[in-house]
A = this chain, B = another copy of it.
């Protein structure tokens, strides 16, 4: 069954801009890195370089986790995980949505074409949120 994200968690994702992405290395150990993301319904989207090892991890095992936090005590946080894919088609709008948050723009920049994004090696890592938790100190929970 498709998860419906509780509104307070959707708001929490929208109110923050970075999280820690975790993927599974070939040896099973977690690989972590800080990423900017954007939410699209029940998905979180990350723009990244196709050559990164986290991209290879997702291509290999199709799962990722994102832990998002607010930045003041007591550091509200929530972890979102689920099936993940690497997208290369129709990614202009998603990429622009993430760039808007990276660059702190009032509006997203003009979307680039898939060809232009491929030319600079950009892909979208998309996580379909299937599991939520732990959630700590997020208001509305």
Contacts and interface: CB of A to CB of B under 8 A. Distances in A.
A77 B24 contact: no
Dominant SS at the A interface?
A: strand
Interface string A1-44: 00000000000000000101011100011111110000000000
B34 A67 contact: yes
A18 B69 contact: yes
Contacts of A18: 69, 75
A46 interface: no
Contacts of A66: 32
A20 B75 contact: no
B72 A71 contact: yes
A52 to B, nearest CB: 9
Interface of A: 18, 20, 22-24, 28-34, 61, 63, 65-67, 69, 71-73, 75, 77, 79, 81, 104, 134, 136
Leading 5 A-B pairs by shortest Cβ distance: A71-B71, A22-B30, A34-B77, A30-B30, A20-B20
